[in-house]
A and B are shown apart, each in its own frame.
Chain A
Amino acid sequence: DAGVIQSPRHEVTEMGQEVTLRCKPISGHDYLFWYRQTMMRGLELLIYFNNNVPIDDSGMPEDRFSAKMPNASFSTLKIQPSEPRDSAVYFCASSSRGRAFFGQGTRLTVV
């Protein structure tokens, strides 16, 4: 398996634009997590899914953030409209029985 695949690896966008981050989890994993990492706050859990169903989105900072998992092999995290304070590295991870594996992340810069 190629591991968790995220795209794009880097994204630079202007404030107010819509940003969509994508994730392909490891086949057979039943949990999918979206994290945000900054120097100030470390790794923050935004939302997680179990068998494609959102379980806990209490970490989503604002209504500007939304996430979907239409099937077991794909998830998106959308920010609309984006703001400079959203600049961070966004990680997707998938897990089975507690073993979570991360993608390489999307480095988002909002100018």
Chain B
Amino acid sequence: QKEVEQDPGPLSVPEGAIVSLNCTYSNSAFQYFMWYRQYSRKGPELLMYTYSSGNKEDGRFTAQVDKSSKYISLFIRDSQPSDSATYLCAMYDYKLSFGAGTTVTVRA
């Protein structure tokens, strides 16, 4: 079993829809939780960062962490075609462990 599980999708939504992404994990030692966005042929870009259970908002993005369930989520409101990318969850306990990434396409 992988330490971090993420459904690779792909996920296709119309413009303006809410995108919902999630990951589960098995390692209780993970301290920090992140979401990265990766455009084609680019490096992963840090999108959201949190270290506690609960919600964190940044513009159209909301990250949720539930440590008791070992479950994290990312929501993108009012999605735009420019949000089309691969989204990777990542978790940190002195090394970064990544999910497989979910490819999202927002249709105009």
Contact = CB atoms under 8 A, between A and B. Distances in A.
User: What interface size band does chain A fall in?
Assistant: 20 to 34
The range of chain B's interface size is 20 to 34
Contacts, number: 52
Interface stretch (B9-17, B39-47, B53-61, B77-85): B39-47
A104 B44 CA distance: 8
Interface of B is mostly: strand
B28 to A, nearest CB: 16
B34 interface: yes
A42 B100 contact: yes
Contact of B98 (A42, A48, A50, A107): A42
B35 to A, nearest CB: 12
Contact of B94 (A4, A55, A101, A107): A55
Interface of A: 4, 31, 33, 42-43, 45, 48, 50, 55-56, 91, 93, 95, 97-105, 107
Interface of B: 31-32, 34, 36, 41-46, 49, 51, 88, 90, 92, 94-98, 100-101
